[in-house]
Structure 1
Amino acid sequence: MKTVVSVSRLAVLVLIALISIVPILWMISGSLRPYQELFKYSSSLNLHLFVPVEFTFANYKEVIVDDKNPFMRFIGNTLLVASIVTAFVLIVNSMAAFAFAKLRFRGKTILFAMFMSAMIIPAEVTLVPNYLLMHDLGWLNSYMALIVPSVLSVFGIFLLRQFFAEIPNEIMEAAKIDGATTARTFVSIIMPAAVPALITLGLMTFLGNWDSYLWPLIVINDSKRQMIQVAIASFSSMEGTDWSKILAASTLSTIPILLLFLFLQRYYIQGITMSGIKG
């Protein structure tokens, strides 16, 4: 009976893995085909559905060296913004989470409940107020409009608070007896112990900014500062129905995220399981 359960579980996992990876394989395969071949074998299940008959790297070449649509510049813009936002999110939200988890101050419970209530507000509701605020500050069409509104993450505070709450208070008391200040305890003890949770939040934040589309589309008009997902959308409209180039651009934008997750997936899974967020 145990063998049947194990085999069934393995079969389900393999099926889920195939369902997840097939679109990625088709995207990569399509990026290596000429446009005339892209949909020729898509109506039937055969080898050429995933293996191109005529391999070509022309799509990547045209995407990378296109002067009117400098795709590598868009990748650089997105990498810069996503990295800065991730760094600030880890610093600001870790301090807030530490205060909610370990410090005592008046109104902490009420304030934390107010923070958590913000999680039920759809992001689309805050688009207009945030846009007006960026306009009043003179930050439209600048990196500040992409970075500053993304620094505070209510989910990040909740995630880190759950992790910090599991750290024994005795450790902080021992550090205080040894003469360590609250700031020193936070930097030298709490933060090193929370590396898995920090990496988890960092991956989520980086991925969210890498895939951001609506907000950059609203606040950025200068193509030289545009983000990668908006660039792909504009590339598709400029190139009409040449989906081979669009698939090449999508493949290029996916590679950094896949590499980042492959290197950090162990910490990501550990951070999720140790933070109390399961299922």
Structure 2
Amino acid sequence: MTAIAVVSIVPIVWMIAGSLRPYQELFKYATSLNVRLFVPVEPTLANYREVIWDDRNPFLRYIGNTLIVAVSVTALVLVVNSMAAFAFAKLRFKGKPIVFALFMSAMIIPAEVTLVPNYLLMHDFGWLNSYTALIVPSALSVFGIFLLRQFFAEIPGEILEAARIDGASVTRVFASIVLPAAVPAMITLGLMTFLGNWDSYLWPLIVLNDDKKQMIQVAIASFSSLEGTDWSKILAASTISTAPILALFLFLQRYYIQGITMSGVKG
């Protein structure tokens, strides 16, 4: 596990170190296996200043755009998918196995296959070049429904029946019993959804034409042009974009691990 951790952390450390190097120094020590590979000889914050205060590419605006979309999608995914998962796990309705099988079959379809149909659908709705095209299609997650459904299915039915006997409605049972018991799974799904939208590149590149509305990963790619690639700025921008994700994961890692490993209700 230590070896795996080192292999995972070394690229992040190199990225941070590279973001503090002048461009001329970046590749000078790239092939040397010594301390200079990870410790800048002439550390500088110029790369961060140029990235943050670039008038042509307002990076702080891109971070704000991405934050709005990622938070909106995460909130919608948690609400919509938790209700769908509860219906599949605990409610009875005609054709439930068939509908659930159809949902699961969508997981084997590559996302690239649906790019053109989704783009045409956004065009017909008039949502191109707007955040709606990024938020609404992402509100439904088949994997999210499957994850929460497996978690909800392990909640003892006797608890729900007791609540119904006491007069609780389906909505009250869902909000007061099921959701509090599924906090780790909800946080796990929320983290995965937020990360996926924070790192989204292809779909925003397709549906957004206004540079002022663009997402952070597309903005990072803009540092590569016909004149050349400014790798120092790319590393600085990548470090800035990675910091919120690392902070969020470190803060919620306990719940994330529980959501992955737990499949039922304890206690």
Shorter chain as denominator, the TM-score bin is over 0.9
State the alpha-carbon separation in 1 of the partners of residues 187 and 133 from structure 2: 25
Tell me, which stretches of 5 or more residues in structure 2 are unaligned? Answer: none
> What is the CA-CA distance between 1:242 and the residue it aligns to?
1.8
State the alpha-carbon separation in 1 of the partners of residues 144 and 226 from structure 2: 37
> What is the CA-CA distance between 1:237 and the residue it aligns to?
2.2
Residue 223 of structure 2 contacts residue 229 of structure 2 at CA under 8 Å; is this kept in 1?
A: no
State the alpha-carbon separation in 2 of the partners of residues 202 and 147 from structure 1: 14
Alignment of 1:129 with 2:106, yes or no, is no
Aligned to 1:236: 224
Q: Percent identity?
A: 82
Q: Where do residues 200-219 of structure 1 align in structure 2 (5 Å cutoff)?
A: 200-219=188-207
**Alignment coverage as a number of residue pairs:** 264
SS in 1 for 2:223: helix
Aligned to 2:177: 189
Alignment of 1:175 with 2:163, yes or no, is yes
The one of 248, 263, 274 equivalent to 2:251 is 263
Alignment of 1:160 with 2:164, yes or no, is no
Aligned to 1:99: 87
State the alpha-carbon separation in 1 of the partners of residues 254 and 227 from structure 2: 40
Aligned to 1:22: 10
Residue 223 of structure 2 contacts residue 230 of structure 2 at CA under 8 Å; is this kept in 1?
A: no
State the alpha-carbon separation in 2 of the partners of residues 259 and 159 from structure 1: 24
Aligned to 2:127: 139
> What is the CA-CA distance between 1:238 and the residue it aligns to?
7.0
State the alpha-carbon separation in 1 of the partners of residues 132 and 226 from structure 2: 28
State the alpha-carbon separation in 1 of the partners of residues 85 and 148 from structure 2: 6
> What is the CA-CA distance between 1:61 and the residue it aligns to?
0.2
- Matched residue type, 2:129: N
State the alpha-carbon separation in 1 of the partners of residues 27 and 220 from structure 2: 20
Aligned to 1:59: 47
SS in 1 for 2:259: helix
> What is the CA-CA distance between 1:190 and the residue it aligns to?
0.4
> What is the CA-CA distance between 1:239 and the residue it aligns to?
6.8
Q: CA RMSD in A?
A: 1.0
Aligned to 1:4: none
Q: Deviations over 1:43-71 (max 9, x none)?
A: 12011000000010000000000010001
Residue 78 of structure 2 contacts residue 189 of structure 2 at CA under 8 Å; is this kept in 1?
A: yes
State the alpha-carbon separation in 2 of the partners of residues 239 and 51 from structure 1: 28
State the alpha-carbon separation in 2 of the partners of residues 265 and 239 from structure 1: 42
- Matched residue type, 1:267: Y
Alignment of 1:36 with 2:35, yes or no, is no
Aligned to 1:110: 98
TM-score, length-scaled by structure 1: 0.93
State the alpha-carbon separation in 2 of the partners of residues 227 and 198 from structure 1: 25
State the alpha-carbon separation in 2 of the partners of residues 241 and 106 from structure 1: 57
State the alpha-carbon separation in 2 of the partners of residues 83 and 28 from structure 1: 26
SS in 1 for 2:194: helix
SS in 1 for 2:40: coil
> What is the CA-CA distance between 1:177 and the residue it aligns to?
1.0
> What is the CA-CA distance between 1:181 and the residue it aligns to?
0.3
State the alpha-carbon separation in 2 of the partners of residues 147 and 244 from structure 1: 32
Residue 197 of structure 1 contacts residue 271 of structure 1 at CA under 8 Å; is this kept in 2?
A: yes
Q: In structure 2, do the counterparts of structure 1 residues 271 and 239 end up closer, same or farther at CA, with 3 Å as the change threshold?
A: farther
Aligned to 2:260: 272
Tell me, which stretches of 5 or more residues in structure 1 are unaligned? Answer: 1-12
